[in-house]
A and B are shown apart, each in its own frame.
Chain A
Amino acid sequence: MIFIDASVFLAKDNLSDVHHQKALAILEDVEKDKYGSALTSDYIFNEVVGVTCRKKSKEKAIELGRKILHSTSLLNINDHLLEKSWNLFIESGFNFSLVDCTIIIVNEILKIEFLATFDKEFKKIKEIQVVD
């Protein structure tokens, strides 16, 4: 199983992004089932829409949001996942955002082996195999 981070969706949709070609290759492998089933979360969806709105336009955010909704399974961060993520956010020595902590917790609980991201911070977590 592979979890897809906001950075990969943003790079995939933007030809100008420095990681565009890498995002294409990653998602091509995802489509070929190289990593098993793929998913993201509602928090990541929110990040993609937020960044796109702020840096491009609301229209582009809606367009990209629709693509994600129609192509990727979305996991809802429930109370249980949020509580665990919040505790990790408080206790973690690393510089992770709360959303980053939800990724770590989801990967741990669902036993997800791979994380598609261009965020180098995740390479510090030895239990997570970063795909970039």
Chain B
Amino acid sequence: MFYMFNVGTQITVRDVDSDAFKEFKAEAIKRGLTLGAALTIAIEKFNSEKKPKLKFSDWKATSWGKGTEHLSEEVDEILYGGK
């Protein structure tokens, strides 16, 4: 009788932010997971994220009227009282 085991894939990853990885590793340990298991969960979550469907070119723009001409420059001023 033959058994087949999914032994997983070994990977080496470059350019991972060290602080983010430290936090990830600590969280995996806290949850009792191996790094591989935690990473698989993270990858599955990433893969399951819905890809955007609406194209920017399909946006229908409208005129917001007088007094809104500079809103794109005034975000911080409107929300936080200016820079």
Interface residues of A (CB under 8 A from B): 6-8, 10-20, 23, 27-28, 30-31, 47, 50-51, 54-56, 60, 67, 70-73, 79-80, 84, 95-97, 100, 109, 111, 118-119, 121
Contacts and interface: CB of A to CB of B under 8 A. Distances in A.
A95 B71 contact: no
Nearest to A84: B19
A51 B65 contact: no
Contact of B72 (A72, A96, A100, A118): A118
A7 B19 CA distance: 30
A82 to B, nearest CB: 12
A10 B55 contact: no
Contacts, number: 112
Sort A-B residue pairs by CB-CB distance and give the 8 closest, nearest first: A70-B54, A27-B56, A11-B72, A71-B54, A7-B72, A15-B63, A14-B64, A95-B83
Given A7-B72, A31-B56, A16 B23 contact: no
A70 B62 contact: no
B75 interface: yes
Would you call the interface of chain B mostly helix, strand, loop, or mixed?
Answer: loop
7 contacts: A7-B72, A13-B64, A14-B63, A47-B79, A55-B64, A55-B67, A118-B72
Contacts of B15: 111
Contacts of B64: 13-17, 55-56, 60
